[in-house]
Amino acid sequence: DTADLHDTLTLPPVRGTATGGPATLEAAAISAWFGDHKVLDRVSLTMPAREVTALIGPSGCGKSTFLRILNRMHELVGSASLAGRVLLDGDDIYDRGRRITRARREIGMVFQKPNPFPAMSLYDNVLAGLKLNGIKAPRDGKDDLVEECLTKAGLWREVKDRLRQPGGALSGGQQQRLCIARSLAVRPRVLLMDEPCSALDPTSTRRIEETIHDLKHEVTIVIVTHNMQQAARVSDSCAFFLAEQGTPGAIVEHGPTDAMFDHPRDPRTSDYVNGRF
């Protein structure tokens, strides 16, 4: 029982929302610029707790930029300037006085290319999720935390007898699940995934999709994918981004995934989900 597991662990509380569980993430009128180049135009989107939201759309329409803005990652990787607000259960993560480290701890991220520490053991890779967020691993309960995170990432049974092996010894799909386990170590309330299966074979992809399905009760999930079948399989709702001829990226259509695939309202959505561009 998950509640019991949480109780036995001794993570330092994150002020306000220690293990708050899945939260609703709301982007309100997000615009973004790289220098003079506007790449997002007033994007508003609610990503409800206990759901998977898929972001789809052609390359270059601003999906990754939007995702990074959702946990303030863009402040690390570039010079995007920003207008708008991002609310985590109603609290603006950009509020003055609210720390950037808190946003990153509560809103985790998994990338396209699996990036475990290759020479570090599987065990330490999971615990590194704490260190990356400035949290010391609990003196007692490390084993439980590692098991909990690897179980949630769907990797425990495969690796429980070889936790001292290096992360780099795993297959690509296993490395990606190790990265998911690492991101879960701080018990984020939202998990952002930027094309997490694009570098993986179909079997590994299905395993990650099963993991996403199981995880959505623990953590709100937002996934960018170019794979329409994947969006249809894993997501509850979908947002279709488009940047037409030099205009900044914007959401053309958003709604329940079934409706979007079966009865798209906008002809551009229909063309995109049916592979016509």
- Enumerate residues 6+ apart whose C-beta is below 8 A from 58: 242, 243, 272, 277
Dig out the tokens for 78 from the structure.
């570039």
Q: 3-class DSSP state for residue 138?
A: coil
Backbone phi, then psi, for 66, in 5-degree steps?
Answer: -60, -45
From the CB of residue 228, how many other CB atoms can be counted at a distance below 10 Å?
16
Residue with smaller CB distance to ligand ADP, 26 or 194: 194
Q: How far is the CB of 46 from ligand ADP (least distance, A)?
A: 20
Is 62 a binding residue for ligand ADP by CB under 6 A? The answer is yes
Binding site for Mg ion (CB under 5 A): 64
Is 196 a binding residue for ligand ADP by CB under 6 A? The answer is no
**Distance in angstroms (rounded) separating the CA atoms of residues 260 and 220:** 20
**Distance in angstroms (rounded) separating the CA atoms of residues 145 and 169:** 22
Give the binding range for ligand ADP (CB under 6 A) out of 61-69, 142-150, 174-182, 208-216: 61-69
Is 22 a binding residue for ligand ADP by CB under 6 A? The answer is no
According to DSSP, residue 52 is labeled E
Is 39 a binding residue for ligand ADP by CB under 6 A? The answer is yes
Task: Please select the residue that binds ligand ADP; options are 45, 47, 52, 65, rule is CB under 6 A.
Answer: 65
Task: Please select the residue that binds ligand ADP; options are 23, 30, 43, 63, rule is CB under 6 A.
Answer: 63
**Distance in angstroms (rounded) separating the CA atoms of residues 97 and 152:** 33
Residue with smaller CB distance to ligand ADP, 63 or 104: 63
**Distance in angstroms (rounded) separating the CA atoms of residues 48 and 16:** 20
Residue with smaller CB distance to Mg ion, 79 or 203: 79
The DSSP-derived string for 126-159 is: HHHHHHTTT-PPPSS-HHHHHHHHHHHTT-HHHH
**Distance in angstroms (rounded) separating the CA atoms of residues 83 and 46:** 17
Residue with smaller CB distance to ligand ADP, 59 or 245: 59
Task: Please select the residue that binds ligand ADP; options are 31, 53, 64, 125, rule is CB under 6 A.
Answer: 64
Which one, of 45, 14, 54, 26, lies nearest residue 260 by Cα? 54
What's the one-letter identity of residue 28?
Answer: A
Give the binding range for ligand ADP (CB under 6 A) out of 63-71, 140-148, 168-176, 228-236: 63-71
Q: How far is the CB of 162 from ligand ADP (least distance, A)?
A: 35
Is 61 a binding residue for ligand ADP by CB under 6 A? The answer is yes
According to DSSP, residue 253 is labeled E
Residue with smaller CB distance to Mg ion, 11 or 179: 179
According to DSSP, residue 121 is labeled B
Residue with smaller CB distance to ligand ADP, 123 or 241: 241
Q: Which does 60 bind (CB under 5 to 8 A by kind): Mg ion, ligand ADP, none?
A: ligand ADP
**Which residue is associated with the tokens 């609210």?**
98
Is 59 a binding residue for ligand ADP by CB under 6 A? The answer is yes
Is 78 a binding residue for ligand ADP by CB under 6 A? The answer is yes
Contact positions vs ligand ADP (CB under 6 A): 34, 39, 59-65, 78
